[in-house]
Chains A and B, each alone.
Chain A
């Protein structure tokens, strides 16, 4: 590891020295080179330092993915701050919860979001303009509670209590992960990375920092393009992408609707996927269509980032029906399995990737991490087996978390949100996985007869939860079935529905 690299922003600073005029980022119709990106982030850092001096502060990035948002992110890091990327498309109520939960001092946002934010947040609010960046506003809100040293960013994920929880990462957590990626995927200054995931999603850490570290070009894919397989096919061809990273959901869409055979995708060298199970049939098709690429299944909860990996052996056996393993532990990390109460093996992970814990949540830190003999283990909640070669095989979850299009969803968070609607008497939410490993979220509800209106309830969900958490199906029941101890009988509900 290069001794000059101690913090994430050093990756950009070094690349700006080594490849000043090389394109760092490209988005639709615009690009920026390493030297300019470094300079713009310095401007932002300077403005932040004037406000915060040497104190540790947290800053939210409430901005669509863009050249600006990357410059802001590095600006925050350079000023010694911690950034919290928000889901630009999530309901504002959820983002406001996050803003308040982690007590940010600054929000970087677009001018159209400012008025309603100012209305919802109390305290003295101030707009600043920074040269070279349009529509950036800084709204100082609060002074800083204590946080762990060297915290680089926090990612909020679905929480079972009904509210999202902040997962904290240090510079060294992220740098260790990025260094591991360098040794696996061999990028250089001629590589072209896709940036498909939003910055609030942990997949983005790989493409963002790995490409910047190696002087590669990062293609920022807008949220609109990211769901359009035809646009993605066009992008891979025209930008000559070499390293692709996304969830299997997107890759399945590309196989089915991306018209890949009509495009030249021979630039692809590495195709990485993570976040959910990739059923073997579409994967098989993709390996045939993208015959120049190597394929890697990367596994890891947000709390550890990627912790196991498996390279798909090509060609894929035509008779294979079971999904590929999640593979072996990444170099530098440790794994073990502990038998749960139900007698199933749960995967535990320790090592330098593992998160600093949850923000301001001692209870959850105690229940999710285990400290044994000075080693901090994260309990993944994932049940695994091992094959004869020592690869881990994913079996399922031990709790009520599901993956929807690669996003982590706590069913209890959905229940809590639906429960807060006035027309609801009782609610139970389940995730039903079909034979293609796709999850459908089904909400069983008991409602007030006179006021019951499913359309309004759906609207309420969309206003209060990200779209991937909104139930696919609502089923009205007279009563939600209960067990003898008066808890929701989820077993019965799983058998009851026919969707």
Chain B
């Protein structure tokens, strides 16, 4: 069965790729990732690449920004706005 590419899919990817066991505790859709420095600049770029490939959207260079990437909810809003 094909994987449903929803918010949960994004959340799971971040959990497995970027968070340590201790950080997963209490992690949710609103947890700040960039401003809290849980994710560094290189992880952020990897995440952008993942979103572009998996959700078939494209970031302009100025959109690679905390405003769109700080939490799973913000990322989801960005993906939705791009899909419209």
Contacts and interface: CB of A to CB of B under 8 A. Distances in A.
Nearest to A228: B64
Nearest to A252: B42
Given A227-B45, A229-B45, A467-B37, A454 B64 contact: no
Nearest to B63: A230
A234 interface: yes
A231 B61 contact: yes
Interface string B19-59: 01011000000000000010011101110110000000001
A278 to B, nearest CB: 16
Contacts of A256: 49
A253 B46 CA distance: 9
A257 B48 contact: yes
Contacts of B61: 228, 230-231, 233-234
Nearest to A225: B61
A121 B49 CA distance: 45
Interface residues of A, number: 18
Contacts of B37: 462, 467
B42 A230 contact: no
Point out which of A228, A256, A455 has the most chain B C-beta atoms below 10 A from its C-beta.
A228
A474 B40 CA distance: 16
A116 B45 CA distance: 33
Given A253-B42, A257-B48, A467-B40, A230 B22 contact: no
B5 interface: no
Contact of B45 (A234, A257, A455, A462): A257
Nearest to B38: A458
A473 interface: yes
Interface in A95-114: none
B83 interface: no
Contacts of B44: 227
B64 A231 contact: yes
B38 to A, nearest CB: 9
Point out which of B20, B42, B62 has the most chain A C-beta atoms below 10 A from its C-beta.
B42
B24 to A, nearest CB: 11
Interface of B: 20, 22-23, 37, 40-42, 44-46, 48-49, 59-62, 64
13 contacts: A227-B42, A227-B45, A228-B41, A229-B45, A233-B61, A234-B61, A253-B42, A253-B45, A257-B45, A257-B49, A454-B20, A467-B37, A474-B22
